[in-house]
Amino acid sequence: MLPIEDISSAQHITLKAGNTSFANASAMYTYLLTQHKKVSLCASEDIENNFSFLPWYDKLRKSIPSSTDLIIEISSDTIGYVHYLDAHSVKINKKMATALYAGLLKKYENLQSLQLDGMVFATVNRLIELQAEYQLCQSFLAYNVPLSVFRLKATLFKKMLLVDEASVVNVYICDEDFKTTGATLKDARNIMKELLTLVNVRKVVLIKSDEENKIIQEEIRFEK
């Protein structure tokens, strides 16, 4: 998970993270500071403003410092990092617990993902017991939705088409929709998952209308 031997000998460690792993990087940044290490945090992409409540967000930089002698790529495997800290008898403080809780929210779609299992819920419970500020995390990550997403929803809902006895939703999108709403393809993919909650709908298809109706993604409802 983290190269413990390399960490012990490193003078300047840089953690690289993206949107799916920034929360975990925040927790690991705190941990490495307790080890009296010089640490930098490098963003591999633009990090969403929703994460601004987390520690070290203001320390983000786009380039790796020249004095770095160890670069660690942080993953989205929050539970793996919790296990790592436990295995090395590291006390998870409130700041780390909050960041790790945020990591779980991000990875498991505000705890609504079909990938949820008992281990995830057990870890959530433990982090709350460790004083994770879970309400703060929920406020920023689950309820802080930009207006651009609502604009895109309105656009897509107008253009969606129910087929196959309303079991399939075809959602048509084009580049102009992104320009006029300010939303992104990632936002469109999240809206697809919301449409999958409609009664009787079993599949949602995202179609690029300005690219000869090219299918760019499909979401299928999980069923036993």
In whole numbers, what is the pLDDT of the chain averaged over residues? 94
> What was the pLDDT predicted at 115?
87
Is the model's pLDDT at 223 over the cut of 80? no
Q: What is the pLDDT of residue 114?
A: 79
Q: Judge whether residue 1 has pLDDT over 80.
A: no
Task: Determine the 3-state secondary structure of 101 from DSSP.
Answer: helix
Q: What is the dihedral of CA 82, 87, 89, 94, to 10 degrees?
A: 0
Contact 44, 17 (CB under 8 A): yes
Predicted confidence (pLDDT) per residue in 61-119, tens digit: 999 999 999 999 999 999 999 999 999 999 999 999 999 999 999 999 899 887 899 99
For residue 60, the Cα-to-chain-centroid distance in whole angstroms is 17
| pLDDT score at 113 | 85
Question: Which pLDDT score is estimated for 118?
Answer: 96
At 224 the pLDDT is 60
| CA gap 211, 219 in Å, rounded | 20
DSSP three-state, residue 69: coil
Over range 146-158, report the average pLDDT: 94
The residue written with tokens 């002698």 in the block is 69
Q: Is the pLDDT of residue 18 over 70?
A: yes
Bridge partners of 221, per DSSP, are none
Q: What does 123-148 look like in DSSP terms, one character per residue?
A: HHHHHHHTT--HHHHHHHHTS---HH
Q: Residue 11: its pLDDT value, please?
A: 95
**176 contacts: CB under 8 Å, gap ≥ 6:** 210
Q: Which of 221, 223, 217 has the alpha carbon at shortest distance from 198?
A: 221
Please check the confidence at residue 41 and state whether its pLDDT lies above 80.
yes
What would the pLDDT profile of 190-206 be if each residue is shown by its tens digit? 899 889 999 999 999 99
Residue 53: how many other CB atoms lie within 10 Å: 17
Q: Is 34 exposed, middle or buried (0-12, 13-18, 19+ CB in 10 A)?
A: exposed
3-state secondary structure of 39: strand
Average pLDDT over residues 19-27: 97
Q: Is 101 exposed, middle or buried (0-12, 13-18, 19+ CB in 10 A)?
A: buried
